[in-house]
Structure 1
Amino acid sequence: MSTSLRLGIAKNLRAMAASATPYESWSKEDLIARLTLLEGEKEPPPRVTITPPPPNPKRLWKTFDFSSYSRRKIALKFCYSGWAYNGLAIQADPTPLPTVEGVLFEALAKARLIDPDAGLDGCGWERCGRTDRGVSAGGQVISLWVRSALESASIDAASPRNPTISFPEEAEAADSEDTFAGDFGSLDDMDFTAPKKVSSKPEHSFTQILNRLLPPTIRVLAWSPVAPEFSSRFACKSRHYKYFFTADDLDIRLMSEAASLLVGGHDFRNFCKLDPAKQLTTYRRQIMSADINPVAGTAAGMHVLDLKGSAFLYHQVRHIMAVLFLVGAGLEPPAVVTALLNVEAGAEGDPALPVVDTRPEYQMADALPLMLYACHYAPGAVEWQAEEDVDADGLGGVYQQLHSIHARADMYATLDREFLHIAAVHHAPPKAHFPLTVTGFVPDGKTPMNVPLGGAEFRRTAKYVPLLERNRGDHFEIVNERWRLGKGARRDERRKAEAAEDEE
Structure 2
Amino acid sequence: MRVALKLAYIGTEFHGSQIQPNVETVEGELFKALRNLGIIESPKSANYTCAGRTDAGVHALEQIVAFDTDKPNLAIPRAINSELPPTIWAWAHAEVPLDFDARRDAVSRHYRYVMSGEEYNISRIREASKLLIGTHDFENFSRTDGEKSTIRTLERINARVDGELTKIDVVGHSFLWNMVRKIVTALSMIGKGVRDNDWLLQMLNPDIYEEGIEPAPAYGLTLMKVNYKENLRWVDDNYSIRRAGEQNQKRILSHRVMAEVLEELISHE
TM-score category of the 2 structures, normalised to the smaller one: over 0.9
> What secondary structure sits across from 1:83 in the alignment?
helix
> What secondary structure sits across from 2:235 in the alignment?
coil
For 2:187 and 2:222, the matched residues in 1 are separated by 17
Instruction: Report what 2:22 is aligned to.
Output: 94
For 1:386 and 1:420, the matched residues in 2 are separated by 38
Aligned 8 A contact 1:260 1:291 in 2: no
Rg larger for: 1
Instruction: Report what 1:242 is aligned to.
Output: 112
Which structure is higher in RCO with an 8 Å CA cutoff and minimum separation 6? 2
Instruction: Report what 2:199 is aligned to.
Output: 336
Q: Offset at 1:318? A: 1.1
Counterpart among 271, 281, 286 of residue 141 in structure 2: 271
Q: Residue deviations 1:283-341, cap 9 Å, x none?
A: 2111000011234xxxx311211000011111111111111121122110133221211
For 1:293 and 1:409, the matched residues in 2 are separated by 25
Aligned 8 A contact 1:205 1:387 in 2: no
Q: Residue deviations 1:385-429, cap 9 Å, x none?
A: 1344xxxxxxxx2233222233223323432443355456537xx
After TM superposition, the structure 1 = structure 2 runs for residues 479-498 of structure 1, keeping only pairs within 5 Å, are none
> What secondary structure sits across from 2:217 in the alignment?
coil
Task: Show structure 1 runs of 5+ residues with no match.
Answer: 1-71, 150-202, 345-354, 389-396, 428-504
Instruction: Report what 1:135 is aligned to.
Output: 58
Q: Normalising to structure 1: TM-score of the pair?
A: 0.51
Q: Offset at 1:252? A: 1.9
Q: Residue deviations 1:97-118, cap 9 Å, x none?
A: x111011001101110111xxx
Instruction: Report what 1:325 is aligned to.
Output: 188
The answer to whether residue 242 in structure 2 is matched with residue 313 in structure 1 is: no
Number of equivalent positions: 269
Instruction: Report what 1:415 is aligned to.
Output: 257
The answer to whether residue 132 in structure 2 is matched with residue 254 in structure 1 is: no
Q: Residue deviations 1:419-442, cap 9 Å, x none?
A: 355456537xxxxxxxxxxxxxxx
Which of the two has greater strand per residue? 2
> What secondary structure sits across from 1:132 in the alignment?
coil
Aligned 8 A contact 2:108 2:174 in 1: yes
Cα gap change, 1:234 to 1:425, in 2 (>3 Å): closer
For 1:332 and 1:274, the matched residues in 2 are separated by 24
Instruction: Report what 1:76 is aligned to.
Output: 5
Aligned 8 A contact 1:272 1:316 in 2: yes
Counterpart among 93, 103, 128 of residue 29 in structure 2: 103
List, as ranges, runs of 4+ consecutive aligned residues in structure 1 with deviation greater than 6 Å. none
Instruction: Report what 1:386 is aligned to.
Output: 236
Task: Show structure 2 runs of 5+ residues with no match.
Answer: none
Q: Offset at 1:124? A: 0.6
Aligned CA RMSD, in angstroms, stands at 1.9
For 1:205 and 1:244, the matched residues in 2 are separated by 33
**2:152 counterpart letter in structure 1:** R
> What secondary structure sits across from 1:223 in the alignment?
strand
Aligned 8 A contact 1:258 1:335 in 2: no
Instruction: Report what 2:95 is aligned to.
Output: 225
For 1:304 and 1:228, the matched residues in 2 are separated by 37
Instruction: Report what 1:406 is aligned to.
Output: 248
